[in-house]
Amino acid sequence: MVMFSQLRRCSITDEQGGRARLLDLSVALLEADYPPVTSLIFLKQKSQKHFLPWSAVQSFEPEDCQIQVENLKASKPLRQSSLGKDVLLGDHILDALVLDLQNRRSTRANDLWLETHDERLELRAADTGFQSMIRRLSGGRYGRMSRSSRYDWKYVEFLRGDPEAVRNGEGYHLRISRLPAGEIARLTDMLPYLHAAELITLLPDAKAVQALQALSPERQLQVFEELKEDQALALLTLMAPDIAADLLGRLPTKLMRSYLEKLPEKQSERVVELLHYAEDTVGGIMTNDVIYLRANLTVGKALESLRESLKEPAFVFIIYIVDNDKSRRLRGLLSLRNLLTSKADQKLEEIMDPYLTTLDPLSPAVEGAYRVIDSHVAALPVINKEGRLLGIVTVDAAVAQVAPPDWRTQAPRIFS
């Protein structure tokens, strides 16, 4: 085991008597749990940085801090594109904010632990302790090594505080995407907003939208405003319409209109419908991402039509029965279980529950929330004066509405 702070004191020599001082090391983060060192970075000809591939190393003696290479003259000038997606330990990772995915915490990489393995030098851990700072200040001469402050690199993600770095294709460890979206959101809430935006940008869109939806409204807006338009549109397209409406409603009017014009037509229409209602009304906390079917359909036909519909909406536990697709006047409801266990030739109006408790979209949000909670159901439908099904208020949204502000973002979204 050798520390990066100590390695930076090492000399690089060759068979011709050439000598240089090691400045940095590059690693290939995506290659393995423990990234291998790929290049030596050193000064040559005054201030000009050069590099040699690790394969040029003939011998490496950590105790004597000596690195022997074939020929220093075979090195090449270091340019921005020289190393591809490889990452520099000193310039990129040292002092960067790192996420310890095992303990779900964020900290700073004060030093880095490396280890030789099968003729390779590998990055094994980040050291975040106070002793590592002493070690760096003394050029590796002082500061004891403590395993308690060491974080296994296999479970570490590092962040630059620059969302643009992700879009430029710069190297990352990409371990963060293995966590559940809710845990990623909790980690994101603890980060500076630029690091939080970078973290969301690292994730695949499907997981990024789940994590973004779980953030507090304030942090959600901070992160969203740092995203490039193409990614923002991709996430808005996947987002639950009610959350997309809340988010867009906090943007400047001109920017909100721009996003609505560029969203897919179906998602844009859903969001616009919700934006008609004030935040403190039932309409302001409902979602219109619901499944409804015509009352005259048979169970068999209903199941056929549901196959595609079930891929999209988040709320699939209750099927709402309407008279027809145009008026969408609510007539009853049916649980998914009852639908699946009924005979194929039965009509939906024969097996639906016609006794409905409904909500008015213009009534106070808190009043509607308590009605959902008191009803002990997963959701209550929202209808207008003509009986048209507008959406539903889920128990998740109801609990979030009446819960203390500091608890709302921690409540799990089960039904919405």
Q: Give CA–CA dist 60/375, Å, rounded.
A: 71
Give DSSP secondary structure letters for 68-126: EES-GGG-EE--TTTTTT-EEIIIIITT-EEEETTTTEEEE--EEEEEEETTEEEEEEE
Q: Give CA–CA dist 119/117, Å, rounded.
A: 6
Q: What is the pLDDT of residue 61?
A: 85
Q: Give CA–CA dist 14/70, Å, rounded.
A: 5
Q: What is the pLDDT of residue 249?
A: 93
Mean pLDDT by 10 residues, the chain (416 residues): 84 90 90 89 81 92 86 88 85 88 86 87 86 67 63 89 82 84 88 92 92 90 94 95 94 95 95 94 94 94 85 78 95 93 94 95 96 94 96 92 70 59
Residue 318 identity: I
31-35 CB contacts, 8 Å cutoff, 24+ apart: 32/122, 33/153, 33/154, 34/115, 34/117, 34/122, 34/123, 34/124, 34/153, 34/154, 35/87, 35/122, 35/123, 35/153, 35/173
- CATH superfamily of the domain spanning 160-276: MgtE N-terminal domain-like (1.25.60.10)
Where are the chain's structural domains? 1-159, 160-276, 292-408
List, in sequence order, the alpha helices (H) in 203-335: 205-213, 217-224, 229-238, 241-248, 253-262, 265-275, 282-285, 299-309
Closest CA to 29 of 81, 92, 117: 92
Residue 291's Cα: distance from chain center in Å? 28
Q: What is the pLDDT of residue 127?
A: 86
Closest CA to 41 of 18, 2, 16, 7: 7
Q: What is the pLDDT of residue 307?
A: 82
Closest CA to 260 of 277, 274, 278, 280: 274
Q: Which two tokens stand for residue 165?
A: 């770095």
Q: What is the pLDDT of residue 119?
A: 81
Q: What is the pLDDT of residue 147?
A: 62
Q: What is the pLDDT of residue 102?
A: 85
Q: Give CA–CA dist 7/22, Å, rounded.
A: 7
Q: Give CA–CA dist 79/81, Å, rounded.
A: 5
Q: Give CA–CA dist 390/150, Å, rounded.
A: 54
Chosen CATH of 292-408 out of 3.40.50.300, 3.10.580.10, 3.30.70.890, 1.10.3720.10? 3.10.580.10
Q: What is the pLDDT of residue 36?
A: 93
CA distance to 101, 266, 302, 319, 321, per residue, from 352 (Å): 47, 28, 13, 9, 7
Q: Give CA–CA dist 128/6, Å, rounded.
A: 16
Start-to-end C-alpha separation, the chain:
49
Query: Under a CB-based contact definition with an 8 Å cutoff, are residues 111 and 144 in contact?
Result: no
Return the SS3 of 299. helix
Closest CA to 198 of 88, 83, 81, 99: 99
Which residues are CB-contacts of 239 (< 8 A; sequence separation ≥ 6)?
Answer: 209, 212, 213, 247
Q: Give CA–CA dist 106/157, Å, rounded.
A: 9
Radius of gyration (C-alpha) of the chain in whole angstroms: 29
Query: Under a CB-based contact definition with an 8 Å cutoff, are residues 373 and 399 in contact?
Result: yes
Task: Quick: pLDDT tens for 116-160.
Answer: 888 889 999 988 876 676 766 666 565 566 666 688 999 988 888
Query: Under a CB-based contact definition with an 8 Å cutoff, are residues 96 and 160 in contact?
Result: yes
Q: What is the pLDDT of residue 258?
A: 96
